């Protein structure tokens, strides 16, 4: 299913832009051109969802809706929905190195509302068709956001004071929809624009020979339209707040584990419905991407369940996941789909058996291999062909940071020897060569390693909220022909492009 190939991981928000955050505009098309010149096959992105508290793409208000911040303002100008003067007036002194989400929240929405007011009859007809096509989720999402942000002042759904609305009583929903009709239409307009811009970018990438790898978080946010609309699919209290939440026990990333706070699934209900919600979710994502990474794959074998309100994830319990039954239901409904299993973290025979039975490629990460242990599965000489391998990940240290700041002296010296690092070559390039030379069918590098960046280029620190998380951006001048030519040479040398 996967040929010998390679690619680069970079979230859309990390791309250059004059407007404070990477978007689906010119810089994204330029990045596709950069990847094409570098003879890459894949561009991997993080989830594209409408982010909530903490700006994490893994905590979204909907499993289907797109992030309005990714909408490109210059494309709205081209469409006649904004003027150049309006965009300039709405700009702020943005750093080229990081996204200021607080400033975005203050400046983007007034511009979006101006664009919405200019919708004409022709566009209104197209939006109506888009709404009808996405009737399974779009009206509920739009009503949820209108209620949450306009009526309930951003309170999470389980704290909404109107019990009839919270419990989705038909009369209450009908009344709310009538009261908030314009707000609902505004939210639907934003989703129409998002999907129009994304579909055009995706098509351009495919024309250039670039396939896009997307990412499905295994869980959804407790404060989401999905939980509000489908409460029986999750383990919730009567007020729709989580009874039990997801996370992982203590591991490489954290001594107290990771407490994500997402409600866990009631897999018995999903099974009784033949996993219809998951089939819908997968179908939606396969329309957006060419390949989909299943985040936290080990949760499909067994998942860590913690009582809501716990201080950390230490005191939890393993529960059995849906396993192959879910994957078979998806394939039966949709046919063969191209999936990747994110199987990092605690490994058990149960997880390994599920990965083997599914036939999906699992993940390996070079920086986890810098211990002088010949059996370490994260060292390139131990990579199996059916795998997708990375120099580092969006959740980890970069290669340079790991070697220079984290490794012990013996580990550092081992890394130098293994990667054959020299003073004449950037450390990230040595790592890329080692991974590209491996037998794994797919080799990937985050953009940070391609540029040999260190700790200041972190995308995310697991187990933390806010701070510098999700803010990193690349400078336009870094994506230059010298870099693309070097990557193209390595890719050709190791026969990946």
Is the pLDDT score of 310 beyond 90? yes
pLDDT score for 147? 98
| 469-478: average pLDDT | 96
Is the pLDDT score of 422 beyond 90? no
Closest alpha carbon to 241 in 158, 329, 323, 184: 158
The residue ranking higher by pLDDT, 412 or 422, is 412
Round the average pLDDT of the chain to a whole number and report it. 95
Is the pLDDT score of 181 beyond 70? yes
pLDDT score for 253? 65
403 secondary structure, DSSP code: I
pLDDT score for 116? 98
Question: C-alpha distances in angstroms, 440 versus 224, 281, 375, 387, 471?
Answer: 37, 29, 16, 5, 31
CATH number of 5-63+195-493: 3.20.20.80
Task: Kindly name the residue from 72, 98, 226, 295 that is annotated as catalytic.
Answer: 295
pLDDT score for 424? 82
* Crossing angle of helices 101-116 and 181-207, rounded to 10°: 100
C-beta of residue 156 within 8 angstroms of C-beta of residue 222? yes
- How much is the CA Rg of the chain, to the nearest whole Å? 23
Model confidence at 417, pLDDT cuts 50, 70, 90, reads: very high
Task: Kindly name the residue from 55, 72, 140, 342 that is annotated as catalytic.
Answer: 342
Closest alpha carbon to 220 in 322, 296, 166, 331: 296
DSSP per-residue letters across 228-285: HH-GGGB-B-TTS-BSEEEEE-S-SS-TT-EEEEEEPB-HHHHHHTTTHHHHHHHHHH
Q: Is 395 a catalytic residue?
A: yes
pLDDT score for 185? 98
At CA 314, angle to CA 308 and CA 316, rounded to 5? 55
Extents of the domains making up the chain:
5-63+195-493
Least confident range of 139-148, 324-333, 373-382, 446-455: 373-382
Is the pLDDT score of 98 beyond 90? yes
pLDDT score for 12? 98
Model confidence at 375, pLDDT cuts 50, 70, 90, reads: confident
pLDDT score for 216? 96
Residues 243-265 pLDDT 10s: 999 998 887 667 888 899 999 99
Task: Kindly name the residue from 251, 395, 411, 425 that is annotated as catalytic.
Answer: 395
Round to whole Å and give the CA distance between 194 and 12. 13
Round to whole Å and give the CA distance between 119 and 125. 10
Residues 29-82 pLDDT 10s: 999 999 999 999 999 999 999 999 889 999 999 999 999 999 999 999 999 999
Round to whole Å and give the CA distance between 354 and 351. 5
Residues 158-172 pLDDT 10s: 999 999 999 999 999
C-beta of residue 212 within 8 angstroms of C-beta of residue 289? yes
| 330-356: average pLDDT | 93
pLDDT score for 497? 83
């Amino acid at each position: 299913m996967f040929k010998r190939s390679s690619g680069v991981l970079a979230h859309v928000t990390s791309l250059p832009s004059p407007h404070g955050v990477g978007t689906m505009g010119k810089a994204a098309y330029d990045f596709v051109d950069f990847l094409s010149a570098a003879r890459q096959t894949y561009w991997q992105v993080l989830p594209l969802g409408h982010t909530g508290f903490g700006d994490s793409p893994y905590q979204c208000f909907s499993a289907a809706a797109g992030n309005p911040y990714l909408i490109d303002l210059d494309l709205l100008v081209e469409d006649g929905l904004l003027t150049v003067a309006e965009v300039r007036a709405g700009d702020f002194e943005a750093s080229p190195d990081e996204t200021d989400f607080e400033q975005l929240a203050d400046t983007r929405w007034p511009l979006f509302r101006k664009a919405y007011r200019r919708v004409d009859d022709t566009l209104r007809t197209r939006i109506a068709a888009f709404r009808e096509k996405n009737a399974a989720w779009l009206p509920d999402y739009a009503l949820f956001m209108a209620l949450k942000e306009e009526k309930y002042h951003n309170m999470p759904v389980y704290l909404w004071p109107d019990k009839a609305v919270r419990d989705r009583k038909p009369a209450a929903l009908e009344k709310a929809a009538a009261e908030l009709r314009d707000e609902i239409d505004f939210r639907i307009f934003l989703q129409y624009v998002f999907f129009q811009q994304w579909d055009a970018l995706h098509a351009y990438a495919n024309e250039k020979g670039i396939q896009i790898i997307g990412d499905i978080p295994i869980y959804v946010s407790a404060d989401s339209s999905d939980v509000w609309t489908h409460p029986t699919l999750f383990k919730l209290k009567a007020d729709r707040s989580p009874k039990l939440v997801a996370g992982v026990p203590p591991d490489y990333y954290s001594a107290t584990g990771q407490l994500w706070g997402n409600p866990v699934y009631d897999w018995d209900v999903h099974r009784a419905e033949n996993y219809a919600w998951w089939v819908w979710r997968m179908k939606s994502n396969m329309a957006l991407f060419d390949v989909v990474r299943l985040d936290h794959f080990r949760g499909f074998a067994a998942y860590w369940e913690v009582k809501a309100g716990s201080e950390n994830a230490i005191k939890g319990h393993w529960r059995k996941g849906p396993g192959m039954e879910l994957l078979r239901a998806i394939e039966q409904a949709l046919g063969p789909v191209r999936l990747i299993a994110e199987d990092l973290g605690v490994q058990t025979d149960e997880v390994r058996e599920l990965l083997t039975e599914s036939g999906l490629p699992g993940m390996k990460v070079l920086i986890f291999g810098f211990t002088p242990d010949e059996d370490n599965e994260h060292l390139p000489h131990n990579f199996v062909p059916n795998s997708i391998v990375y120099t580092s990940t969006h959740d980890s240290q970069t290669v340079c940071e790991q070697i220079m700041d984290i490794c012990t002296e013996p580990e550092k010296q081992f890394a130098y020897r293994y990667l054959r690092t020299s003073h004449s070559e950037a450390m990230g390039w040595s790592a890329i060569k080692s991974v590209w030379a491996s037998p794994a069918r797919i080799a990937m590098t985050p953009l940070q390693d391609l540029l040999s960046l260190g700790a200041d280029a972190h995308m995310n620190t697991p187990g933390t909220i806010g701070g510098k998380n999700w803010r990193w951006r690349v400078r336009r001048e870094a994506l230059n022909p010298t870099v693309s030519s070097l990557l193209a040479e390595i890719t050709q040398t190791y026969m990946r492009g």
